[in-house]
Structure 1
């Protein structure tokens, strides 16, 4: 599928989201270090857990809102909320205010609204792209995110510590740019939102009815034992993956500290930025190759070996004493991640087809998929 044949929604989103993702990844990997310095490690860990838990709950409801109120509308609301959240974050970081709790409140708001974006984004692709081309479009957006993961941390390692407020304001600015693109060039694609009668019927339901419907939808999904175990295992393995964002920066700063690499002296923050960028580069450069390679093998053993390598990589991180060993660990970590990327795409595509055959709402699958993508 050529880029010239893409729906205008996808073209403007790819450009706007690229700018926003690069600016976001300039900040995100360094938040743990920032808040740990301001309010302490233990409180930072607790607040981050609460913040991301709220974001996960939001993502699970995001599919419903995207169906009822429309993809474009929910994406626009998400972008506005994210921009406001990072603006509050920036205000709290101003030198004459210096309120880390206000900053964290802003980050939590941004996280919640960001979680609304993914289900609508995934569903919009399904609306405007034929099934045989969806995996290609998903892979382009996935590659774009990982290019941002390469570029963002490198920039952040240089600018975030000294230009925190300016960097946060840049995210707010790119939120405005994406909002403009969505409003100017985007169009609604949700079948339910385009039908006034069905939309009115859904919108008139009270919150209790909506939540009950969502519970029933998820009950039907989780009756599939294999899919349920897959989601459960995915949540468990994601706990190790999330350490890349939450625990590793503190570990590198406090345990490895200043180190030498290729004749350069790197601070803990700079080394962490390089490590995150290497992870993003590996994913962006090797996704297609690894997908073709891994689809030759039994899915069960691919997932098992991926989990095993995740564990080995985490152990190597714990034993790292310098830049070289930490970089080797992240390369192994990235390899474990890439083993399952293509298989996950196939699994969700097949499950989405099965759900359509059963006439169940699509949003639970997009919501679950978004929970798994929330931190990447």
Structure 2
């Protein structure tokens, strides 16, 4: 489906969200460094865990609010709320006030509003795009995000260190501008019967209770439960991209020459080195996702999932053994390859596990891999104080290898269950 054939809502959103994403990625990857410096690594890690709990709860409620109050209304409210949060964060890092606690509260609020925005934005795509074209539309939005991951950190590595106040001020202004754009140039798409039924019958705590009940299905399906646990263990590795890795690079990468021509050299510091490494990750994901997914689809999922976790473990060890910028760039290439190996196949595997009448619930529960991982992963930052960087990276390596082992066990259970179902079919016939 070509962009020119898109609904006007989506065209406006593609432009507006690209602007927000680029601005967001100009400073977001460096915030773990900021909080570690201001609070210390122990407290920073625990606070980031705490902030994620609020985002998890907000994400849980976001779908209900999008259905009851409308997609457009929630997206406008969330964008405006994010804008005010970033302005508050800017004030907390301004020439007039330096308050990391206020900055943390503002950062948490921005995360909550972002969690309200996401379900409404996804639901709007489903409202206005035919089912056969949705994957193409989602892919273009995904590509847009990864372009922002390339451009944002490069710009951030230039501006963040010396112009954090101005950068956060700009981010707040952009979000408020996007809220105004969405207000003027988009329309509401929520089906009237959905909103009406929720208004008459649904209360927010009913929805929350139903969501918790739906997630309870993971304990009834052994294969799916192992899939979730293995995903959470692997997630402790790849979630460090925005947490441990920037702090590690900041601590150990001092002035280095990225390239040199005679007496002329380009020197970089820790924040700039991380910006380059993160941009590399976004560039490779945007460039190679389709190619690697097609390549991996030729192999049995068990081997791909397990090998992906092993490659994550290798990349983490590589990160821990180098302070050289080109060594970090090579380690990130291996890390990104591990990310791409399972990115496309895991969603397909979830659909294979899910009974047709429960497919939506299975996909919702499968997102727990990322939700739980994102909540636990910040503990790696205080671990560097408790046991040191070396042991922290070693523990992450062991978790990734444990994930590989669980994937292998999961497929043993899955194959056994499939064999049992095939044997039962002739009897039922």
Give TM-score scaled by structure 1 length: 0.90
Select between 321-330 and 118-127 the one with higher mean Cα deviation: 118-127
Structure 1 residues without counterparts, runs of 5 or longer: none
Structure 2 residues without counterparts, runs of 5 or longer: 261-265, 376-429
- The corresponding residue for 2:86 is 86
Q: In angstroms, what is the RMSD of aligned CA positions?
A: 2.6
Asked whether the 8 Å contact 2:93–2:103 carries over to 1, the reply is yes
Asked whether the 8 Å contact 1:64–1:363 carries over to 2, the reply is no
- The corresponding residue for 2:62 is 62
* CA distance 1:206–1:17, shift in 2 (3 Å): closer
- The corresponding residue for 1:295 is 297
* CA distance 1:346–1:66, shift in 2 (3 Å): farther
Matched residue SS, 2:267:
strand
Select between 236-245 and 301-310 the one with higher mean Cα deviation: 236-245
Distance apart, 1:181 and its partner CA: 2.5
Distance apart, 1:184 and its partner CA: 1.8
Q: Which has the larger radius of gyration?
A: 2
Structure 1 residues 313-328: aligned runs within 5 Å: 313-328=315-330
* CA distance 1:111–1:268, shift in 2 (3 Å): same
Structure 1 residues 95-106: aligned runs within 5 Å: 95-106=95-106
* CA distance 1:298–1:16, shift in 2 (3 Å): same
* CA distance 1:283–1:324, shift in 2 (3 Å): same
For residues 172 and 266 of structure 1, the distance between their equivalents in structure 2, rounded to whole angstroms, comes to 28
* CA distance 1:12–1:374, shift in 2 (3 Å): farther
Distance apart, 1:268 and its partner CA: 0.8
Distance apart, 1:58 and its partner CA: 2.0
Matched residue SS, 1:242:
helix
Structure 1 residues 115-194: aligned runs within 5 Å: 115-191=115-191, 194=193
Asked whether the 8 Å contact 1:59–1:371 carries over to 2, the reply is no
Asked whether the 8 Å contact 1:63–1:367 carries over to 2, the reply is no
For residues 249 and 320 of structure 1, the distance between their equivalents in structure 2, rounded to whole angstroms, comes to 14
- Could you report, residue by residue, the CA deviation over 1:70-125 in whole angstroms, capped at 9, with x for unpaired residues? 22222222212211211110111112211111111100100111112222222222
Asked whether the 8 Å contact 1:256–1:322 carries over to 2, the reply is yes
Matched residue SS, 1:257:
coil
Distance apart, 1:337 and its partner CA: 0.6
- Could you report, residue by residue, the CA deviation over 1:39-98 in whole angstroms, capped at 9, with x for unpaired residues? 322222221121123212322232222233222222222212211211110111112211
Structure 1 residues 326-337: aligned runs within 5 Å: 326-337=328-339
* CA distance 1:369–1:309, shift in 2 (3 Å): closer
Asked whether the 8 Å contact 2:228–2:369 carries over to 1, the reply is no
Give TM-score scaled by structure 2 length: 0.79
- The corresponding residue for 1:31 is 31
Matched residue SS, 2:101:
helix
